[in-house]
Structure 1
């Protein structure tokens, strides 16, 4: 009989293929004992057999079986070949059409009989069940660790020592600078470029890019928060790098993957919105090299840049002149930030308690769902309030005695952009006569 050997290991952490080598030795010994000639060998190293991922060697083996010349496929255990019952059905069909059988170190599987087919299916289901149980245990342990505010997984996060969770001074300085730059309007791409130019690499030893910057800025651990699968579950047992207030602002500003190509040069790029489609406006140049702001579609709105910037700036400065900065940066009627944090912690602990009550049978599934939705809604409102209080810090450069207009003129474009975006919603509507647009076609509505 002509035998093919299939070898697979889910995760090869060293890259040396030692697990595959052990399987090869056992499978070849079994084929030799049976008197089979090994004609082909297929290896999928560090690839799962549970998930719907492509296994190149496995797919080649299927095609070779269909082409003929393979009587039996030998694997160490059935779960090396498959953990999916649907693939067992495929092997039964391959046996019926091409006569191939399966064999493992634990024994051969005769797919020509009903009992053999049943055994193959049972073994695949058992393997799948074992993986599900292991996965459930890992998830439960991860959630428990997060709820207890304990340290993270096997990889050291930027800014923290791995075991002690103490701060790494230089990295902490970089992290705080990244948050400051983001709030000042610097793009994520530009933040990454600045880190790379200074020779500051990530904990993997690789340069930064927009994605890694975004992921770091959105990491709750930087604010001293413990989380599990994207959900904050409580306070961590480590010192925060930034306040939760700062973290909430960054969370809103990185709510999409868009990172921008660099620090935006112009005042209203992305800040002014099209009155038709609502998309951010970009800088464009009309014939004669006249700078304009235009809708990203290029169809709805276009406006001369200098005139639009002047009108929006004057309106925003009028808002600042009319409302004393202390009233803007510190709403006396709003809860203090410490109280918001306390309220958020209380609601998170209540969510944990609900899960326990449901597990103990004190709540029905319907009661759990209703209570959870209500608490999560309240928690979302508190988190938004945190972000609003954090955004008020953007106005800090204009606070204190002195002429606001004079201070405005000394600010960088990114700072001015951040203040405009924090104070107002700028919407540009179409006009009938572009040469003499009506002032009311530009709406600058103060944010609540």
Structure 2
């Protein structure tokens, strides 16, 4: 058996990660320290043919609990493309704190001939001992992550029981003290909150409250996120007003799941009024103002828009007299009753019928038919190639089993099951070996209703 030629040059990529963004603005931060350690390690292995790739793979402000990190994804792409032979990190938890995620990453590395090295833990996955040590350390890393998460949850629960607000999206009417983190009232914003509660209690209609608040010239809370992005400052709609009316903070409470506790912050709304508003909203719970629309499964979800105001058309349904009616409605009008749009709702059957009529014309264009034919043939070719590859592997395995009959290492049941697999594969190859014509593609595309049903079996024309 011919041995593989060992690579004389091993391209090394240093990956760094920091969970929080604090300190990244410094001239020499944690990412720089990790990179320096990795580069020094690569330099120490120069005699073994290790060279550093120029690309930087740095994830600042990303958790190790998942793999949704831009630099990590770029690293994986380069590994798959064969641009990286060794991944170097300061510690294994820089790459991932999840054992499941790390196992998947390691699978990608091994599949494309890449190794993994931890500078401070002397782990090299090119050896069996290194792989064993890696699995042990990753188990401890995941355990540590779960313990930290559990402690954070317990701390939040304990803090809320003591009435401490634990952050989150800034709330209209309050601001958080940068030092003590305690909530204090913002007078101008608090006045808007009181106006919303008073208006709703007086009118008793969520939709009409939205109209009145917008006419007063008030907007949602304006704030700048930690990443410097401006949020809020928009007109009110039913959803944003509803969130204000049900927020327990305004009555001086702190909520934790279904429980609520006496808060250390000052209330903006009188508790008796807050309770009256909750009772009023509960009495209107059967109305369309506060009820969430029931969504309907449809392939047109998110792709059809109102021709008058360009708002998205949302699918929903209703039951009347034991019969189900599905339709699309203008989402903007449902959120803001003052929104002037002549389109209120349209039956889903009519809308899907119009789409099918337009689709039938598009599907009959010569260019699309030709492209479809080529795509079918290419898919057929790829499927046959894959089945043929599987057939070859099964035949090789069958030959090994037959050779094992001599020394008695072969199980007859395994020979039987392997033979059955071979029969199925050959049958599939034969079934895929067919000829399709342009006329057959044209006939298939003429029946748009059948095509629609095939593509979207859950959707039914009303």
TM-score by length of 2: 0.50
Q: How many pairs are equivalent?
A: 279
1:296/1:179 CA distance change after superposition, 3 Å: farther
User: Partners of 1:188 and 1:6 in 2: how far apart?
Assistant: 53
Provide, for residues 64-108 of structure 1, a one-character-per-residue CA deviation record: whole Å limited to 9, x for no partner: 223324221111211111222234434544554444221223034
Q: Which secondary structure does the structure 2 equivalent of 1:107 belong to?
A: coil
Distance (whole Å) between structure 2 residues aligned to residue 15 and residue 181 of structure 1: 47
Aligned partner of 1:176 in structure 2 is: 194
| Whole-angstrom distance in 2 between the partners of 1:192 and 1:70 | 59
Note if contact 1:282-1:296 (Cα within 8 Å) is conserved in structure 2: yes
Among 218, 234, 243, the alignment partner of 2:246 is 218
Indicate the RMSD between aligned Cα atoms, in angstroms.
4.2
Q: 2:20 aligns with which of 8, 11, 16?
A: 11
Query: Of the candidates 43, 49, 67, which is equivalent to residue 32 of structure 1?
Result: 43
CA shift digits 1:321-353 (9 cap, x unpaired): xxxxxxxxxxxxxxxxxxxxxxxxxxxxxxxxx
Residue 49, structure 1, aligned to residue 100, structure 2: no
Question: Which residue pairs with 1:202 in the alignment?
Answer: 222
Deviations 1:280-313 (A, max 9, x none): 99999xxxxxxx99986489xxxxxxxxxxxxxx
Give the 3 Å change call, closer, same or farther, for CA 97–30 of structure 1 in structure 2.
same
Shift of 1:255: 5.0
Q: 1:407-422 counterparts in 2 under 5 A?
A: none
Q: Tell me if the contact between 1:96 and 1:112 (Cα under 8 Å) persists in the aligned partners.
A: no
Structure 1 residues 192, 49: CA separation in 2 closer, same or farther (over 3 Å shift)? farther
Question: C-alpha separation between the residues in 1 aligned to 2:247 and 2:163?
Answer: 14
Q: Is the 8 A contact 1:7 1:80 kept in 2?
A: yes
**Structure 2: gaps of 5 or more residues:** 1-9, 225-229, 295-305, 307-317, 334-341, 350-462
Q: In the superposition, relative to structure 1, how do residues 23 and 239 fare at CA in structure 2: closer, same or farther (>3 Å)?
A: same
Q: Tell me how far apart the structure 1 counterparts of residues 85 and 186 of structure 2 sit (CA, whole Å).
A: 60
Q: Work out which structure has the larger RCO, using CA pairs closer than 8 Å and 6 or more positions apart in sequence.
A: 1
Which runs of 5 or more structure 1 residues have no equivalent in the other structure?
Answer: 262-271, 285-291, 300-448
TM superposition score normalised by structure 1 = 0.52
In the TM superposition, what are the counterparts of 1:34-433 in structure 2 within 5 Å? Answer: 34-35=45-46, 36-39=50-53, 40-51=55-66, 54-94=68-108, 96-153=110-167, 156-163=170-177, 165-182=183-200, 183-186=204-207, 190=211, 193=214, 197-198=217-218, 201-204=221-224, 206=231, 207-208=233-234, 210=237, 212-228=240-256, 230-242=257-269, 243-250=274-281, 252=285, 254-256=290-292, 277=324, 297=347
Deviation at 1:49, TM superposition (A): 2.6
